């Protein structure tokens, strides 16, 4: 089983719908991240959390919200999806040595 698991892996939805992407990890790490990838732009940080009570906005947080339900779970929500949120979303964790562990990605298409 993967150390960082994302669900769903693929999702097609319509403009205005609420979408939640879930992430769970078995690494025991306190630090978790949500990144978004658009073609040609690399990955950009949406939100990050250093522990259950610590959540911070990243570079592109507008239109997104997160919830850290437990050390192992970090979910990303789009309250009202729009087409320019079509992208590949990655959840990641990191340990104190600095290495990031990525999930397999969630491909979201907003029509």
Partner 1 sequence: AQKITQTQPGMFVQEKEAVTLDCTYDTSDPSYGLFWYKQPSSGEMIFLIYQGSYDQQNATEGRYSLNFQKARKSANLVISASQLGDSAMYFCAMREGGRAAGNKLTFGGGTRVLVKP
Interface residue list for partner 1 (CB under 8 A): 31, 33, 35, 40-45, 48, 50, 58-59, 88, 90, 92, 94, 96-102, 104-105, 107
Q: For partner 1, which is the closer residue by CB, 20 or 101?
A: 101
Coil vs helix vs strand at 80: coil
Q: How far apart are CA 3 and CA 102, in angstroms?
A: 9
Q: Is the separation of the CB atoms in 84 and 29 below 8 Å?
A: no
The answer to whether the CB of 16 falls within 8 A of the CB of 79 is no
Identify the three-state secondary structure at position 84: helix
Q: Which is nearer to partner 1, 63 or 101 (CB)?
A: 101
Q: How far is the CB of 29 from partner 1 (least distance, A)?
A: 10
Give min distance, CB of 6 to partner 1, in A. Answer: 11
Specify the residue, 17 or 30, whose C-beta has the smaller distance to partner 1: 30
**Alpha helices (H) in the chain, listed in sequence order:** none
Residue 21 or 92 having the CB closest to partner 1:
92
In the complex, minimum distance from the CB of residue 78 to partner 1, in angstroms, rounded to a whole number: 20
**Rounded distance between C-alpha atoms, residue 107 and residue 11, angstroms:** 6
């Amino acid at each position: 089983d993967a150390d960082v698991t994302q669900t769903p892996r693929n999702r097609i939805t319509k403009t205005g719908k609420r979408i939640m992407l879930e992430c769970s990890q078995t690494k025991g790490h306190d630090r978790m991240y949500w990144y978004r990838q658009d073609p040609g732009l690399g990955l950009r940080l949406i939100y990050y959390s250093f522990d259950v009570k610590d959540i911070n906005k990243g570079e592109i947080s507008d239109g997104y919200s997160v919830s850290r339900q437990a050390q192992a779970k970090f979910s990303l929500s789009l309250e009202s999806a729009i087409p320019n949120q079509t992208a590949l979303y990655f959840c990641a964790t990191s340990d104190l040595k600095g290495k990031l562990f990525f999930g397999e990605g969630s491909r979201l298409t907003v029509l």
